[in-house]
Amino acid sequence: MIESGKKEFVAIVDDSQEDITVLSELLVKDAGDFLIIDRFNSGEAFLKDFSAGKYEAIFVDIYMRDLDGIAVVGEIREKDRNVFIALVSSSTEFAMEAYRLHVNRYLEKPLNPEEVEDILVSVLGIPKTRDTIRLGGEDGISIAPDELVCVEQAGHFAVLYFSDNRTMTLRKKLSDLQKAVGDRKNFFHCHKSFIINIVHVTRIDEELFLFETDIGKNVYIRRKDLAKAKHMLTAYHLEMTRNM
């Protein structure tokens, strides 16, 4: 774990300003309070500034006009055998060359945010970002998705049910909660009055068209969505089995 108050130095080497911006935004989003990011628009500019031990991690693009990424990595390794290097490319054709130069990670474009976060967490020791459902406005609250079992519309209010049997009542429409949940794959707007978190479903009653949950709360399913409900629950169980 990174020491409190300490900042890690990271470098991005890429001659595309757009690509520098994309990677910078991913790094800042997950670890902006823990990093100092130096950005270089050419390999030559980076090497003029580089010295052993200066950076904890360096992200190098392969396809650059003046000095390509393979050449830059070769120069880095002559001075610093230990620094973490991620080679960024739109293809895998240089994977073997990267291995020869002891590149630590090979990232393909478009960048996968989870792969970038994994580098921050496993290499730099930066705390993993905690996923939250943010409800703004006057409520101003954050909710951990896994703790939310379901949401029920009751008149002008939305009632939130949690895994520890708490409930929370907000003056909001179910559509507001659906927007806050976003595209999180385990949440399902299964009925005009309900949103369910599949994580907390114990079984489906196909005769009564409802989910049974681990807190004893039953959640209705639209008849036309019964097949989708069964598919989502089966997919979740399969994923959990693979991860065991």
* pLDDT tens per residue across span 185-239: 899 999 999 999 999 999 999 999 999 999 999 999 999 999 999 999 999 888 8
Bridge partner list, 170: 158
Q: How far apart are CA 171 and CA 83, in angstroms?
A: 52
CA distances from 110 to 26, 91, 98, 168, 186 (A): 12, 10, 19, 40, 25
Residue 164 tokens read as: 């520890």
pTM of the full structure = 0.54
Q: Is the peptide bond before 110 cis (omega within 30 degrees of 0)?
A: yes
Please list the residue range(s) of the chain that carry CATH number 3.40.50.2300.
Answer: 8-122
> CA-CA distance, 205 to 65, in Å (whole number)?
62
CA distance 128 to 117: 7
CA distance 101 to 57: 15
CATH class of residue range 8-122: alpha beta
Contacts of residue 33, Cβ cutoff 8 Å, sequence gap at least 6: none
Range name among 27-36, 163-172, 194-203, 229-238 with the lowest pLDDT average: 27-36
Number of CB atoms found within 10 A of residue 146's CB: 12
What rounded mean pLDDT belongs to the chain? 88
Q: Kindly tell me the burial class for residue 64, based on how many C-beta atoms sit within 10 Å of its own C-beta (0-12, 13-18, 19 or more).
A: buried
**Region(s) of the chain under CATH 2.40.50.1020:** 133-242
- Residue 167 is predicted with a pLDDT of 93
6 Cβ partners below 8 Å, 6+ apart?
Answer: 34
User: Which one is predicted more confidently, 162 or 121?
Assistant: 162
Amino acid at residue number 204 = I
Q: Are 18 and 12 in contact (CB under 8 A)?
A: no
What's the CATH fold of domain 133-242?
OB fold (Dihydrolipoamide Acetyltransferase, E2P) (2.40.50)
Mean pLDDT of 108-117: 88
Nearest to 108 by CA among 126, 90, 84, 83: 90
